[in-house]
Structure 1
Amino acid sequence: MVEEVKLLKTWSSPFGLRPIWALKLKCIQYESIDEDLSNKSALLLQLNPIYQKIPVLVHNRKPISESLVILEYLDQTWTQNPIMPQHPLEKARQRFWAKFNDEKYFTNSLLHLLPSIWSVFTKEGKQREEAMEELVENLKLAEEELQGKRFFRGHKIGVADFDFGWLANLISVFEQVTGFKVIDGTFPLLSTWI
């Protein structure tokens, strides 16, 4: 039986990037469907009637919503190139860092951006300095987690890497627009990871 796999996403969403990377790592063929979130399709509203947002993975006509849930589903359904470790403690650590990323770096705003980075864009003076300090403190925690490792999981890429992957995708834009160098010599491990 041929597996039917579709992914509803937007090109700019960090949440949509997570399952794309997992699908590619696992060599899963899929159909990509781009959504216009300002004019949501009937398909999106049908597949995700509760949250009405992307990403949505459709596997053999069954929808799965929420990027981290999709990652777990992909890992349990297609076991090649696992993105979650088998050991319960390591699995818990991966879930912790994914949750940390979502809680510290994302808000429920339409922009879904790190609040301190967004503040660097929109604030001035003392408030902008405070936003940069918050950003630096959060990045220090990620830097510490990478000590002695190539990836957040260790020697293999994992869920936390997919979760933090938006940094690699967007940080240079933030740096160029704000004039602040976020990933520099202060964060050599993050810089290498990116």
Structure 2
Amino acid sequence: MGEEVKVFGFWSSPFTHRVVLALRLKGVSYEYREEDLFGNKSPLLLQYNPIHKKVPVLLHNGKPIAESLVILEYMEETWKSNPILPKDSYDKAMARFWAKFFDDKCMPAIWKAFWCPENEREKAVEEACRCLKTLESALNGKRFFGGEAIGVVDIAANFVGFWLRTIQEVTGLELLSAEKFPNLFKWTDEFVNHSVVKGTLPPRDKQLEFNKVIVAKYEQGEIKA
């Protein structure tokens, strides 16, 4: 009997897609379980992630692991094929640093720039652009953050790779452009057109429609920065 690998996720969640992408890059077969985050979360999700009650959750042979970056680390230790972290200890530490930088600094700043009150917009946009500029410098002309192959930093930054530009299209607020951040903009094209990545991303039209729902929730005060 083969090993049990299940992913509990939400189709539009970049955090879910981190896990799905890494599994596909490593060639690991898995079962996907869609969660209704805006309705009733399944009893299994609440059982497997009782602390945060969020997706994604990876279930491996009955053992649940939560939080996407933690899951990526677990996967790297468990399935050695097609590594997403460098072999060199220093390079590995730097990859972890940039992945954490994205989650701790970039993601909150970008999110706030879109959903903050109008009187805070200018300052929030400046902070988001500072984060994007830092990512631009980290790329340093490379195809991907780790070099020629997709690694953990690219996977962690997938929100910029796909979701950011779809939100810009719906809201009209442009943070990322080829003029402002040419290296990062080029990276987004490389990322979304990668043969494995393309098979994991949500349909663009469906994502745009979902973004409109999120904008409406923001306008109704249901979402805050």
| TM-score scaled by length of structure 1 | 0.89
Query: Does the CA contact (< 8 Å) of 1:3 and 1:59 recur in 2?
Result: yes
Summarize deviations over 1:60-85 as a string: whole Å, max 9, x none: 11111111111111111111110011
Query: Does the CA contact (< 8 Å) of 2:5 and 2:59 recur in 1?
Result: yes
1:82 aligns with 2:92: no
Query: Does the CA contact (< 8 Å) of 2:109 and 2:131 recur in 1?
Result: no
Matches within 5 A, 1:96-135: 96-106=97-107, 114-124=108-118, 127-135=120-128
* Structure 1 gaps, min length 5: 107-113
The 3-state SS of whatever aligns with 1:40 is: coil
The 3-state SS of whatever aligns with 1:73 is: helix
In the comparison of the two structures, how many residue pairs are matched?
186
Q: Take 1:69 and 1:165, find their aligned partners in 2: how far apart are those partners?
A: 16
Relative to structure 1, is the Cα distance of residues 54 and 48 closer, same or farther in structure 2, using a 3 angstrom cutoff?
same
Structure 1 equivalent of residue 2 of structure 2: 2
Matches within 5 A, 1:24-173: 24-38=24-38, 39-106=40-107, 114-124=108-118, 127-173=120-166
Identity of aligned residues (%): 48
Q: Take 2:32 and 2:89, find their aligned partners in 1: how far apart are those partners?
A: 33
Q: Take 1:48 and 1:98, find their aligned partners in 2: how far apart are those partners?
A: 22
1:187 aligns with 2:181: yes
Alpha-carbon shift at residue 179 of structure 1 (Å)? 2.1
Query: Does the CA contact (< 8 Å) of 1:19 and 1:67 recur in 2?
Result: yes
Q: Take 1:27 and 1:63, find their aligned partners in 2: how far apart are those partners?
A: 20
The 3-state SS of whatever aligns with 2:59 is: strand
Query: Does the CA contact (< 8 Å) of 2:14 and 2:163 recur in 1?
Result: no
Q: Take 1:72 and 1:116, find their aligned partners in 2: how far apart are those partners?
A: 25
The 3-state SS of whatever aligns with 1:135 is: helix
